[in-house]
Amino acid sequence: MQNNQGDENSNPNTPNYAAYFTNSFGLPEEWHIGHLPRRNKENLIQFITFRLADSLPQDVLKKIELDIKALTASEKDIAKRKRYQKYLDRGYGCCALKHPKMTQTMYNALKHHDGDKYNLLAWSIMPNHVHVLIKANSNISRILQSWKSFTGRWALKNNETYSFSFPKDVFTFWMPDYWDRFIRDSKHFNATVKYILDNPKKAKLPKGSVAYRFTACAWVDEAQS
């Protein structure tokens, strides 16, 4: 796996995903977690972020809520996501995903249904969270559940064996929620891919970190296979 800047228009190996972009929020029955803009529909390209259960301490969560208290509901959603990302990159919690065995297990889970339930386009497995860009071919809530269920059980079973340092009195490896955004257009697509691929550098991780080896996009993998 190798990092790439993800410019859809300049890289000849990048497929054309324009047919799967949309600006539409769809019908209410397609929304999930109770509100916009979280649209759960097949054949959309979705940018998804999910994190470990101990990745944001309670004092940080309280600070975020205080910071965004005066914002409108729609402004809060965007502001909260940005603040979460800033604090996630500071490496709070056990950061179990920095361990090669755990990272490989997470990557194997992402690849397991690739080409079937979804097409995996870009990914970054960071120490305490994961970014993925997929073309969803099925329900994304169920896709997330399959990833989390397999990797969570494996992590808790092997916590002591590989010294993941996950608290022994905690029985939930992942936070139950996740962030998702459907891709609107080529500009949004390119910016999202770049964001994913730049995440290890943006978080100022050492060059030898496992995250660099598990950050890539599909068309680079395919070109080198």
Nearest of 70, 53, 81 to residue 181 by alpha carbon: 81
pLDDT along the chain (225 residues), means of 10: 43 75 76 64 92 95 94 86 94 96 98 97 98 96 96 94 84 90 93 96 96 94 44
Class (C level, CATH) for 18-55+91-224: alpha beta
Question: What global pTM score does this model have?
Answer: 0.87
**What pLDDT score was predicted for residue 32?**
67
pLDDT of 162 reads: 93
